[in-house]
Amino acid sequence: MKNKMMTLKTAKSTMNSDEVVMALNSLSSEISDLKNDLKYYARKTETGMIHAAYSGMGDSALQMLSKGYEEEIRGVMGVIAGECPMREECSAAFSQLLSDMITDYRKGELDDAGADEYRQKITGMREAAPYPSCQKCFEKNEDLFNRSIKRCSAFQAFFSGRTPACEETPVQEINPENIVSSYLEPLANKHRFKVLQELYYGPKSFSELSEVTGLRGGNLLFHIEKLVGTTMILQKQERGVYVLSEKGANALKVSARLLT
> In the chain, where are the structural domains located?
56-160, 176-258
Among the residue ranges 124-133, 187-196, 212-221, the one predicted with the least confidence is 124-133
* C-alpha to C-alpha distance for 84 and 145, rounded to whole angstroms: 21
Q: Which residue in 62, 99, 94 sits closest to 76, CA to CA? A: 94
List the end-to-end C-alpha distance of the chain, in Å, as a whole number: 44
Distances, alpha carbon 199 to alpha carbons 11, 51, 167, 232, 252, in Å: 46, 15, 28, 10, 11
What average pLDDT is seen over the chain?
73
Give the type of residue at 141: N
What local confidence, expressed as pLDDT, does residue 155 receive? 59
Beta-bridge partners for 243: 234
Q: pLDDT of 54-91, one tens digit each?
A: 444 455 555 666 666 667 676 766 666 677 888 888 88
Give the three-state DSSP class for 183: helix
Return the biggest CA–CA distance within the chain. 104
Contact at 8 Å (CB) between 129 and 120? no
State yes or no: pLDDT of 117 exceeds 60.
yes
Provide φ and ψ at 220, rounded to 5°: -70, -40
DSSP conformation class of 173:
G
**Dihedral, 31, 34, 38, 40 alpha carbons, nearest 10:** 120
Q: What percent of the chain has pLDDT over 90?
A: 10
CATH number of 176-258: 1.10.10.10
State yes or no: pLDDT of 190 exceeds 90.
yes
Q: What is the value of pTM for the model shown?
A: 0.40
Contact at 8 Å (CB) between 219 and 257? no
Q: pLDDT of 44-57, one tens digit each?
A: 444 444 444 444 44
